[in-house]
Amino acid sequence: MDEKNRTVNLSYNEGQNTIDLPVLEGTLGPDVVDIRNLAKTGMFTFDPGYLATASCESKITFIDGDLGLLYYRGYPIEELAEDADYLETCYLLIYGELPTREQKDEFVRIVTHHTMIHEQLAAFFKGFRRDSHPMAMMVGVTGAMSAFYQDSMDYSSKANDRMVAAYRLISKLPTIAAMCYRYTNGLPFMYPRNDLSYSANFMHMMFSTPCETYEPNPVLVKALDRILILHADHEQNASTSTVRLAGSSGANPFACVAAGIACLWGPAHGGANEAVLKMLDEIGDVAHVPAFMDGVKNKTHKLMGFGHRVYKNMDPRASIMRRTCYEVLGELGLQDDPKFKLAMALEKIALEDPYFIERKLYPNVDFYSGIVLSALGIPVSMFTAIFAMARTVGWISHWNEMISDPNQKIGRPRQLYTGAQRRDYVPIDVRK
């Protein structure tokens, strides 16, 4: 970041005191006011929900919500979704540059050879009810990995140890996600296959059985790979900020990623594509759309898959996913699928309705990704688990960036306290 000798002058105590706050300039995006010295005045800033707060400096992902831009390490998401594959994107996010052919081959080799989990971890699943939500199991089993990879790791000073953790997480999360699905359905766990690509192997672990090998359709594998690319990172969103905050205390990276998974689970974040499909089920028929929209405008419910904290324009990931949706449904001959027709009817109305236009509410990636995942045969309850698996690389890249910074401090926000003033303890017998 550059300090450009510009300051914001803040006067307080009715003008009796002033403080100059430096303005910092990034390579792209808004300037930020550096308020680190403000605490010396005895005041804090107040920004619940971080509406105007840059929580850290980062070189990984850039979003321009007004223009609808998303870059990973400077590369537009459209180009990566079209020309790269997921593991190449992972390499880019972690290391900052696209790999050479040799670097990519070696990266793919390492990831592919670490996809099995410790056999003892499989036993953890038996402790869960069969009807547990996959995200509940993912939080637990991913967190449990910290007990398996704790010794001899020096994450704060050894870059190589951090990379080993990154490889392990990227390699093993699909295995854990698929096991969640298999366990719920009483199916035997399928070991990974090293002859398949990352996405094809995930589909194999989901859908093969010991009696029958699932042969992944290349169009569907490409669609899944694209979903993973689109969800790989999204700068300082709630789950990434959670991973950073957890990691800032020096916590084990597997435990930090488990915290990220917990945060992602919420319907306002990663749970949205699941919520979109549930919403489509509830609406049921195109004829019910006007009544549903009335409810949205009366704030009885939200139109899930619409709106975004950062994008006040079309989410660039949504445009790519929309195209992918058509490709997949075309490949499977599902163009007339009633759920898809219903989604298109909602999209049309919302894009033309003043309620959405005035509030700059556009479809986000989750509006379409749920329909694609559904067409791939993935049950709704697994949608967020797949998002978690894709986002693991983003979380671990941010964690690595943070831990590598020699000036890194533990995250410790302050508050505006509005509770009781000091008061004396009242013995229980005299309390009214």
Binding site for ligand CMC (CB under 6 A): 234, 237, 268-270, 272, 296, 299, 302-309, 359, 361, 364, 366
Torsion, Cα of 142, 391, 47, 249 (10° steps):
40
Residues facing residue 11 across a β-bridge: 18
Told to judge if 308 belongs to the known catalytic residues of this protein, a careful annotator would answer yes
Among 172, 179, 178, which Cα is nearest to 125's?
A: 179
SS3 163: helix
Q: Which of 204, 234, 269, 398 is catalytic?
A: 269
Of 272 and 372, which has the nearer Cβ to ligand CMC?
A: 272
Question: Shortest approach of ligand CMC to residue 361 CB, angstroms?
Answer: 5
Of 22 and 76, which has the nearer Cβ to ligand CMC?
A: 76
What is the sign of the dihedral through the CA atoms of 292, 293, 294 and 298? Answer: positive
Please name the residue that has the structure tokens 């995006």: 29
Among 340, 431, 376, 18, which Cα is nearest to 222's?
A: 376
Question: Shortest approach of ligand CMC to residue 224 CB, angstroms?
Answer: 18
Question: Shortest approach of ligand CMC to residue 183 CB, angstroms?
Answer: 26
Question: Shortest approach of ligand CMC to residue 321 CB, angstroms?
Answer: 11
Exposure string of 28-45, with b = 16+ CB inside 10 Å and e = fewer, is eeeebbbbeebeeeeeee
What type of residue is 43? M
Of 223 and 361, which has the nearer Cβ to ligand CMC?
A: 361
- Residue 20 CA to residue 9 CA, distance in Å, equals 5
Question: Shortest approach of ligand CMC to residue 105 CB, angstroms?
Answer: 32
Q: Which of 204, 308, 315, 398 is catalytic?
A: 308
Told to judge if 66 belongs to the known catalytic residues of this protein, a careful annotator would answer no
Which residue blocks in 332-427 are alpha helix, DSSP H?
338-352, 354-358, 365-375, 383-404
Told to judge if 366 belongs to the known catalytic residues of this protein, a careful annotator would answer yes
Of 21 and 349, which has the nearer Cβ to ligand CMC?
A: 349
For residue 71, give the H/E element and its range. strand 69-72
Of 256 and 296, which has the nearer Cβ to ligand CMC?
A: 296
Catalytic positions are 269, 308, 366
